[in-house]
């Protein structure tokens, strides 16, 4: 069996539920320099397939959380978070989460997200997966430095 087949068999996705939302909260505290309010976690429980936990060898090591947005012109998906614990990066887990979201977001016009301007690894990941930098938002982050973020978008 090739290593990539073995790796993919070790990766599984799971729903975010009231019983495991605490795991998501803990992951976010470790992965991201931002603290998310309780409303974030309440909202995540309502988005169905647009929020997933990723498991490696049955250990929860990452997650993705999105929301649907509608304005006059389009309905799109905003990716609030996508992250994997540092020791589990480069194993295809982030890609698996992103592929899941792209598959379930196909009915929408686009998907977009913010990336801190100094987060080169995230920027490279999204560019490699077809996202483009479409804007820079000054002072997007209120409690971390640098405060600016790139807006990345992918048409669906």
SS3 16: coil
Phi, then psi, of 58 in degrees rounded to 5 = 65, 15
Distance CA 108, CA 73 (A): 12
- The whole-number pLDDT of residue 5 equals 45
Neighbouring CB atoms inside 10 A of 42's CB total 11
Rounded percentage of the chain residues whose pLDDT exceeds 90: 87
Q: Is the pTM of this model over 0.75?
A: yes
Position 1 pLDDT exceeds 50:
no
Residues designated as active site:
78, 114
| pLDDT single digits (tens) 14-24 | 999 999 999 99
Pair 24, 71: CB distance under 8 Å: no
Predicted local confidence at residue 113, as pLDDT: 98
Contact 89, 31 (CB under 8 A): no
């Amino acid at each position: 069996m090739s290593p990539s087949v073995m790796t993919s068999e070790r990766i599984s996705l799971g729903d975010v539920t009231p019983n495991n939302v605490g795991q998501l909260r803990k992951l976010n505290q470790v992965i991201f320099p931002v603290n998310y309010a309780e409303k974030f976690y309440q909202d995540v429980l309502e988005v169905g397939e647009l929020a997933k936990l990723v498991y490696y060898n049955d250990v929860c090591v990452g997650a993705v959380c999105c929301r649907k947005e509608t304005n006059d012109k389009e309905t799109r998906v905003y990716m609030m978070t996508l992250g994997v614990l540092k020791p589990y990066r480069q194993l295809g887990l982030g890609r698996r989460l992103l592929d899941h979201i792209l598959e379930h977001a196909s009915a929408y016009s686009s998907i977009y997200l913010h990336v801190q301007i100094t987060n080169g690894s995230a920027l490279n990941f999204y560019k490699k997966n077809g996202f483009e930098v479409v804007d820079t938002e000054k002072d997007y982050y209120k409690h971390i430095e640098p405060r600016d973020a790139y807006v990345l978008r992918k048409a669906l």
